[in-house]
Amino acid sequence: MVKKSILLYLQTINKMRALFIYILFVICTFQTSAQINELGVFLGGINYIGDVGPTDYISPNEPAFGVIYKWNKSPRHSFRFSYFQGAITSKDIDSDVPGRKLRGNSFKNNIMEFSVGLEFNFLDFDLHDNKKATTPYVFTGINHFVYNEIFILNNVSKLDYRHSAFSIPMVVGLKTRLVNKLILGVEVGARYTFTDNLDGSNPINDNFETLRFGNLNSKDWYVFSGFTLTYTFGKNPCFCTK
């Protein structure tokens, strides 16, 4: 099992490295295509929704950070690539559900997420126009993330091995131009995952079958909330239909 988990982890890292190399290639291609690019950071928090602890949907309780790149195809949409990272934690003792308080489980897990998708602006957001601009936006796409496969023993989570899965991001936000080349945004993004074991409630390893609990037919969620600050660069594009 240890060799298998190490091999899986190395394969996942290699995939992520290949994706980052691809992004660099895409950035270079976009730069020569006379498009405006954005590169920046995300700073905020992360929380989890599942079978352990509180059931609050937007309640960041751990810090999170990341990097973002956007290729602005038009004033209304852009292709977005990002890497976010944070630790999710939760305790039954903090829940308002009496059964969870009595159970007393807790866990910690580490999330490393790579995301690709489309960001849509509700209002025109023309980056080569220096006028003040503000717009709400939405983002969705596909995420691939690395996490710990854990199980809970004596009310505390234990590491089995590193694993990876996919999730669907559903992000809403608001952004504005601070100065000529700096864009400030605030966003909340829920991720619907294709795993039910961010919290140790449903370990994949059948050796821990007797330790499974909670709703085994539902998937876990995690939510990134915070601010983005991006710097624009590249030649002014022509936002026109060819």
Give the H/E segment covering residue 33.
none
Q: Would the pLDDT of 60 be above 90?
A: yes
Full domain range(s) for residue 43: 2-233
* Predicted pLDDT at 2: 47
β-sheet bridge partners, residue 83: 67, 114
Inter-residue contact 169 to 143 (CB < 8 Å): yes
User: What CATH number should be reported for the domain holding residue 128?
Assistant: 2.40.160.20
Is 60 inside any structural domain? yes
Is 240 inside any structural domain? no
Which residues fall within 8 angstroms of residue 131, CB to CB, at 6 or more apart? none
Return the minimum-mean-pLDDT range out of 113-122, 146-155, 173-182.
173-182
* Predicted pLDDT at 34: 44
- The Cα angle at residue 170 between residues 197 and 139, in degrees rounded to 5: 140
Q: How many domains does the chain have?
A: 1
Give the H/E segment covering residue 23.
helix 2-32
- CA atoms lying within 13 Å on the CB side of residue 80: 29
Q: Would the pLDDT of 9 be above 90?
A: no
Q: What is the pTM of this model?
A: 0.84
- As a whole number, mean pLDDT of residues 114-141 equals 93
DSSP 3-state of 229: strand
Q: Confidence class of residue 128 from pLDDT cuts 50, 70 and 90?
A: confident
Q: Confidence class of residue 141 from pLDDT cuts 50, 70 and 90?
A: very high
Q: Confidence class of residue 131 from pLDDT cuts 50, 70 and 90?
A: confident
Q: Would the pLDDT of 8 be above 80?
A: no
Is 242 inside any structural domain? no
Q: Confidence class of residue 14 from pLDDT cuts 50, 70 and 90?
A: low
* Predicted pLDDT at 3: 54
| Distance, CA of 91 to CA of 51 (rounded, Å) | 10
Provide, rounded to the nearest whole percent, the portion of the chain with pLDDT above 70.
Answer: 82
Is 22 inside any structural domain? yes
Mean pLDDT of the chain: 89
| Distance, CA of 156 to CA of 228 (rounded, Å) | 34
Is 133 inside any structural domain? yes
For 70, 105, 125, 165, the CA distances from 38, given in Å and listed in that order, are: 5, 42, 13, 27
Give the H/E segment covering residue 98.
helix 98-103
Is 239 inside any structural domain? no
- As a whole number, mean pLDDT of residues 190-209 equals 97
| Distance, CA of 209 to CA of 201 (rounded, Å) | 10
- Residue 227: Cβ within 10 Å count: 15
Q: Would the pLDDT of 33 be above 50?
A: no
Inter-residue contact 83 to 99 (CB < 8 Å): no
